[in-house]
Amino acid sequence: MSTPANGPVPAVAAATAPAAIPRSAQRDPGNSKLGTFGVKSGLAQMLKGGVIMDVINPEQARIAEEAGACAVMALERVPADIRREGGVSRMSDPAMIKSIVDAVTIPVMAKVRIGHFVEAQILQAIGIDYIDESEVLTPADEEHHINKHNYKVPFVCGARNLGEALRRISEGAAFIRTKGEAGTGNVVEAVRHQRSIMSEIRKASVMNEEELYAYAKEIQAPFHLLKETARLKRLPVVNFAAGGIATPGMCIR
């Protein structure tokens, strides 16, 4: 459904796509490097074993911080409300996101629509800590995801299976979460997606190279990432469970 297109890029997309940040602009004088994949996936590693809470204002963000959340997701409405009301849902108001950034010391994440690279540029300019390119919002592009390598800010993306997870990583995601069914309070979808990813990884881990080539084609995943996943016996980036998780009893450790 969301495979990267192989054919020529439509002219309109080429004209509006953000220019890659020049290498020189990413570098400080000397040779310290900002926004490397190491620091992007590294922040996800620091979040492990923690809980990321959806919050809609600074007061909720403070409650989450006091309760031990390792990060907060700044949203205009929680997914349950977005689902109920329908309509088009977009990136949250930058002023609201900034008020949450000012209120807490833990990392603040925010969501952008799938494929909406300008929303992502805005969040990067605000100095958000992580961007969720999220299926909870209305997609802005039916086929293409954001080229996440072009940003200094790291991205987390949802996935339902191994192929989808590896496609997102190849686009630059430094962190994967299961999709689940946001806002339902029903954990079954998150469990299904997590089970599916783990079972596909276990299957790949016993394959030889010839089988991996065929399997990469079957699940539409880049071969080198599939091979690395098979070797590690886990995704090459941190994976969180999300979607329909509503009570502490549902947290998977």
Query: Catalytic amino acids?
Result: 111
Please identify which residue in 7, 8, 29, 249 interacts with other proteins, judged by CB under 8 A. Answer: 29
For every residue of 71-128, DSSP letters joined together read: EEEE-SS-HHHHHHH-S---PPPHHHHHHHHHH-SS-EEEEEETT-HHHHHHHHHHT-
DSSP string across 154-173: -EEEEESSHHHHHHHHHTT-
Q: Is 47 in the site for other proteins (CB under 8 A)?
A: yes
Q: Which residues contact 69 (CB under 8 A, 6 or more apart)?
A: 50, 51, 52, 53, 106
Residue 154: phi and psi, rounded to 5, are -80, 160
Half-sphere exposure of 127 (CA within 13 A, CB side): 5
Q: 234 is written with which tokens?
A: 């886990």
Q: State the Cα–Cα distance between residues 193 and 151, nearest whole angstrom.
A: 28
Using CB under 8 A, pick the residue from 5, 10, 13, 45 that binds other proteins.
45
For residue 20, give the DSSP letter. P
Is residue 249 a contact point for other proteins (CB under 8 A)?
Answer: no
Choosing from 35, 94, 139, 222, the residue that interacts with other proteins (CB under 8 A) is: 35
- Closer Cβ to other proteins, 217 or 234, answer by number: 234
Q: Which stretch binds other proteins (CB under 8 A): 7-15, 60-68, 160-168, 239-247?
A: 60-68
- Residue 209 binds to other proteins (criterion: CB under 8 A): no
> If binding is defined by CB under 8 A, does position 22 make contact with other proteins?
no
248 binds other proteins (CB under 8 A): no
DSSP three-state, residue 52? strand
State the minimum distance, in angstroms, from the CB of residue 213 to other proteins: 28
Query: Contact with other proteins (CB under 8 A): which of 103, 118, 198, 219?
Result: 103
Q: Which residues of 48-84 are buried (b: 16+ CB within 10 A; e: fewer)?
A: eeebbbbbbebebbeebbeeebbbbbbbbbbbeebee
Contact segment (CB under 8 A) with other proteins among 4-12, 34-42, 141-149, 190-198 equals: 34-42
CB 154 → other proteins: shortest distance, Å? 7
**From candidates 4, 18, 42, 185, binder to other proteins by CB under 8 A:** 42
User: Per CB under 8 A, which region of 4-12, 86-94, 105-113, 212-220 contacts other proteins?
Assistant: 105-113
23 vs 84 by CB, closer to other proteins: 23
**Interface with other proteins, residue 71, by CB under 8 A:** yes
C-alpha torsion sign, points 245, 62, 59, 104: negative
Contacting positions for other proteins (CB under 8 A): 28-36, 38-40, 42-43, 45-50, 62, 65-71, 101, 103-107, 124, 127-130, 152-154
